[in-house]
Amino acid sequence: MLHFADSLTFSGRKVVAAWAALPFPALPGSWLPDILSAHQRDVPWKLLSSWKEQKVSCCFAQSVVLRGVCKEKPASCPGQPRSPLHSCESPEQVLQQYLHTQFPGAFSTSHVLRQPCDTRPPFPQFFSPLLTSRGFLLDKAQGSSSAGVESIPVLAALQSSPVLHSLLSGLCRDLRARNVRRCSSFFTAGVEQDDFQEALEELKTLSQCYETGFGADGSEDEADSD
């Protein structure tokens, strides 16, 4: 994973963020261009960090994998393609075109796998009753239990993006706000105060590598400098 993250980072960046759609929001029998066309304004995956809700609007580099949604073009699709996504010849091209549209200029790699994610026991059955046994969405629940979900379509992504500026600078502020001198076990473990302060400065510098100059993070930077 460390080497994989390194392949997505440059210009002093060292961290990538994990995103996922679990399950991927697809209806039974739906065609991938139709699914992604419904998410032109906002990507259908969410940040897995415990940090506050973040929306991804741009990124520097990413690797995306989609599993379990590989339905080929329906036989009855006459007429002109409804969008550039519908003119693609394969699910791989559809996903790549979608990423290019959502994140122009970003380095993107993508993979589409037919095999869904297996969710049979001992996988925890925490799914909504609005899912079929194959993890596709229903208009209404067919029962009060989702114990029959055996597999789900999943999209997962690793991204080097400006979102990490907020995450890292927020972590730096939280650490600065704590009086670590009161945590005797922290320094008896071998950490020196000077080393701790140096690590905080390195964390702040790392967070600045993810700034773009176009976000709403100016207030965070000012608070960080106080």
Give the closest residue to 216 by CA, choosing from 161, 165, 158, 160: 165
Q: What are phi and psi of 138, to 5 degrees?
A: -115, 155
Contact 21, 137 (CB under 8 A): no
pLDDT in tens, 16-50: 999 999 999 998 888 899 999 988 888 889 888 76
Position 54 pLDDT exceeds 70: no
What DSSP string runs through 128-192? -TTB-TTS-B-SS-SSS--TT--EE-EEEEEEE-THHHHHHHHHHHHHHHS-GGG-HHHHHTT--
Question: Tokens 């994973």 map to which residue?
Answer: 1
Share of the chain above pLDDT 90, in %: 37
**Helix (H, G, I), strand (E, B), or coil: what is residue 117?**
strand
- Reported as a single tens digit per residue, the pLDDT across 115-161 is 999 999 899 888 888 899 999 998 876 655 545 899 999 999 999 98
What is the pLDDT at residue 72?
A: 65
Token pair, residue 52, equals 């506050």
